[in-house]
């Protein structure tokens, strides 16, 4: 049988189309069967846009910050690496006004605000630059609730996200973090990280899935209860007009970090 080039290409094209189409059809049926076996935890806290408000009036002493930071770092097995400042890992930390809100400082700014430490964490941006630059989608925006997530399994440690993040919210594991963790105090329910991956705050997605608020928010509440004040961290859904975060944002003056960059941070500061 002889066949000219034109016929050969036609037959090859049609048969590969049928092959690929059939394969993907069979595959999608298979996926649906598996997907019917899983579901969300009915107790999980859900929202369409998680956001946090940091009420700076409620942070009076160093301890008020430290309880939140410690709760977060203990919960997520974040190591305390002190021998080389470049190897530091942080999910939540404090910084000064001129570093947190650059461009807003002035010579005559109140001394109190100039020296006040601001609690900072990942802003879970509406338009996250870290997600845009990630080549493996190891960091991605969860469409369901707006959390900027980290999938440690996929991270290849290229650190594009660290270059992309304008808030310095990401830390790279230059060394194996395990030796810096205290085995007695580690949280056995949460993994550690390995050398060569980037990590950051994930708004405690694992706690939300169990129906718990983020660790820092819980710590702030406990601390407030102990001191008889109101908690400095408020967490809730930005799309729900009756949520606590929307209430406080509608009543008080709030600012976000570097809004001019268009990233749309979900962490608000009220002064």
Partner 1 sequence: MYNAGKIIIGIVIFVGLITLPFWFSGEKATAKPDPKLDTPEILQLPEAERTCVESKEYMKREHMKMLNEWRDWVVRDGLTIYVNEQGKEYTMSLQNTCMNCHSNKTKFCDECHNYASVNPYCWDCHIAPKENAS
User: Which residues here bind partner 1, judged by CB under 8 A?
Assistant: 34, 37-41, 44, 77, 140, 142, 144-145, 149, 151-153, 186, 188-194, 205, 209-210
The least CB distance from residue 186 to partner 1, in Å, is 7
* Residue placing its CB nearer to partner 1 in the complex, 56 or 204: 204
The least CB distance from residue 149 to partner 1, in Å, is 7
* Residue placing its CB nearer to partner 1 in the complex, 24 or 144: 144
The least CB distance from residue 214 to partner 1, in Å, is 15
CA-derived radius of gyration, the chain? 23
* Residue placing its CB nearer to partner 1 in the complex, 160 or 190: 190
Joined together, the tokens standing for residue 191 give: 């993994």
The least CB distance from residue 209 to partner 1, in Å, is 5
131-137: which pairs have CB atoms within 8 A and are 24 or more residues apart? 131/161, 132/164, 133/160, 133/161, 133/163, 133/164, 134/160, 134/161, 135/160
Q: What is the DSSP string of 151-174?
A: -TTT-----HHHHH-TT---EE-S
Check if the beta carbon of residue 58 is closer than 8 Å to that of residue 231: yes
Check if the beta carbon of residue 239 is closer than 8 Å to that of residue 47: yes
* Residue placing its CB nearer to partner 1 in the complex, 157 or 262: 157
* Residue placing its CB nearer to partner 1 in the complex, 47 or 120: 47
The least CB distance from residue 121 to partner 1, in Å, is 20
Q: List Cα–Cα distances, 61 to 111, 116, 117, 223, 224, in angstroms.
A: 16, 10, 10, 11, 12
* Residue placing its CB nearer to partner 1 in the complex, 120 or 148: 148
The least CB distance from residue 210 to partner 1, in Å, is 8
Residue 229 CA to residue 54 CA, distance in Å, equals 14
Joined together, the tokens standing for residue 217 give: 């928010």
């Amino acid at each position: 049988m002889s066949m000219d080039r034109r016929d050969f290409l036609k037959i090859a094209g049609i048969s590969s189309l049928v092959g690929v189409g059939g394969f993907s059809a069979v595959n999608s049926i298979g996926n649906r069967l598996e997907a019917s076996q899983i579901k969300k935890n009915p107790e999980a806290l859900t929202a369409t846009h998680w956001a946090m408000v940091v009420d700076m009036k409620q942070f009076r002493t160093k301890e008020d910050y430290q309880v939140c930071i410690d709760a977060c770092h203990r919960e997520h097995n974040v190591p305390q690496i002190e021998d080389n400042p470049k190897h530091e890992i942080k999910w939540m930390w404090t910084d000064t006004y001129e570093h947190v809100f650059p461009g807003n400082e002035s010579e005559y700014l109140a001394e109190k605000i100039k020296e006040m430490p601001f609690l900072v964490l990942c802003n879970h941006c509406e338009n996250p630059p870290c997600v845009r630059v990630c080549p493996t989608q190891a960091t991605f925006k969860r469409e369901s609730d707006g959390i900027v997530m980290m999938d440690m399994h996929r991270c290849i440690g290229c650190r594009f996200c660290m270059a992309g993040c304008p808030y310095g919210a990401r830390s790279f594991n230059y060394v194996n973090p395990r030796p810096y963790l205290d085995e007695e105090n580690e949280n056995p329910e949460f993994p550690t990280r390995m050398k060569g991956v980037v990590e950051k705050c994930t708004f405690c997605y694992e706690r939300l899935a169990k129906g718990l608020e983020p660790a820092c928010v819980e710590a702030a509440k406990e601390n407030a209860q102990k001191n008889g004040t109101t908690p400095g961290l408020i967490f809730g859904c930005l799309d729900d007009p009756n949520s606590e975060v929307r209430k406080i944002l509608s009543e008080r003056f709030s600012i976000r970090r570097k809004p001019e960059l268009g990233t749309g941070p979900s962490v608000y500061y009220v002064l």
